Amino acid sequence: MDISGTTRFGQTIQVPRPLELKTAQQREPASDLLDALRTGPFEAALDSAVRASGLSLERIQHRLAERGVEISVTTLSYWRRGRSRPERPQSRQAVRLLEELLGIPTDGLVSLLGPRRPRGRWVNRDSEVLESERLWPEFVSLPGLLAELDSTDDGLLRVAAHDQYELNAQGTGARLTTRLTLKATRDGVDRCVVILHGEDPDTALPEFTNVRNARLGRLRSDRSVPLVVAELFLDRTLSEGGTTLIEYTLRFPESGRRAEECGRGFNAPALLYTLEVAFHPDTVPVRCRRCFSAAVTGEPMSAELVWISASGRAHAVFENPGPGFRALRWEWH
């Protein structure tokens, strides 16, 4: 699993803000919202509640943060559009607070989610291996994209990985160069499946260039996230235990939102992951942290400050990374 670049965005709706005039208990949900709460699905009810409240997603995020729950505007937007669902305990806590903030009866939204989906490890698989869907748990379109490539497991371990991410003067991603050391876990492995989470759903998808020891195969995408699944055909078929090295560069559109993160998800333990980020000298963030989370969209379980050099570069070395997401995340002025 390769790159996740996140931004925060939302739409401001200029209508009266009833939450600032009445408490949630004093307001009665509109009829269309009541219909959505009765019939679902979750995203339709949430969208109707947000529109009825007159609150922007940024304002909702701020109010959640005041209650101690940190949820990005991007995540709220995905929930509202049905591109992901609240699954983690903190996400479900946020939904309960949303019910209060938006004036929805208790359990009105939570009941539409149903029981939590099974998480964690594959049944009858190595206890140190995670499914792609578990590493990327809130991207509901991912299983379908993987199914179109006829695989949820390419049979390769990422033994070592090196990512070099370069940003332009606007703070958006310019290119990402990736080098992977791969090991086959079964016979007959002939391709590597790459999952990419882009930075801006309103810009064009990145272009694969300078592919070495492989060639680009099929691409499947969900432009609204954006999410891309690509297959890279190896130069030779590997038997179990066989290894190969591949390299490729992703070139991003010149325009787009500022990037705030770059990182990689691992399904299984690796030996080494190194990540370099080169900021443009005219656009350097105020601070940068190396982070670990259990899933690509998860809140960091650890975050340590990382030095940004005078030339605008930062790096992180992750030795023996286990399953989960490792990244550098930064804050702009």
Tens-digit pLDDT profile for residues 141-191: 888 888 888 766 788 889 999 999 999 999 999 999 999 999 998 899 999
- Tell me, yes or no, whether 24 and 105 share the same domain: yes
More confident residue, 176 or 40: 176
Give the span between the Cα atoms of 302 and 292, in whole angstroms: 5
- The residue that leads in pLDDT, 150 or 297, is 150
pLDDT at 231 over 90: yes
186 plus 283 within the same structural domain: yes
Asked whether residue 125 is assigned to any structural domain, the reply reads: no
Question: Tokens 């729950």, residue?
Answer: 69
What is the average per-residue pLDDT within 56-83?
A: 81
Q: Do 91 and 223 fall within a single domain?
A: no
Same domain, 62 and 146: no
Q: Are residues 93 and 184 in the same domain?
A: no
Residues 241 and 152 in one domain: yes
Give the CATH number of the domain where residue 261 resides.
Answer: 2.60.40
Asked whether residue 169 falls in the same domain as residue 301, the answer is: yes
Task: Cis check for the bond before 143: say yes or no (omega within 30 of 0).
Answer: no
Q: Is the pLDDT of residue 39 over 70?
A: yes
Cβ atoms of 172 and 252 within 8 Å: the answer is: yes
In whole numbers, what is the pLDDT of the chain averaged over residues?
80
Looking at per-residue confidence, does 87 or 142 come out higher?
142
Give the per-residue pLDDT at 130: 63
Angle in degrees, CA 292, 274, 328, rounded to 5? 40
DSSP type of residue 23: -
What is the band of 11 on the pLDDT scale with cuts at 50, 70, 90?
very low
The reply to whether 84 and 206 lie within a common domain is no
Residue 257 lies in a domain: yes
In a domain? residue 210: yes
| pLDDT value for 89 | 65
Q: Are residues 308 and 163 in the same domain?
A: yes
**Mean local confidence (pLDDT), 191-212:** 87
Residue 147 structural domain: 135-331
* Chain centroid, CA 232 distance in Å: 21
Who has greater pLDDT, 53 or 163?
A: 163
Same structural domain, 97 and 188: no
User: What residue has token string 């309960």?
Assistant: 96
What is the pLDDT averaged over residues 206-235? 92
Least confident of 123-137, 139-153, 204-218: 123-137
pLDDT value at residue 141: 84
Mean pLDDT of 17-30: 41
| The last residue of a domain, from among 79, 113, 147 | 113
Specify the number of domains making up the chain: 2
Residue 152's pLDDT is: 64
181 and 313 both lie in a single domain: yes
Q: Please check whether residue 2 lies inside any domain of the structure.
A: no
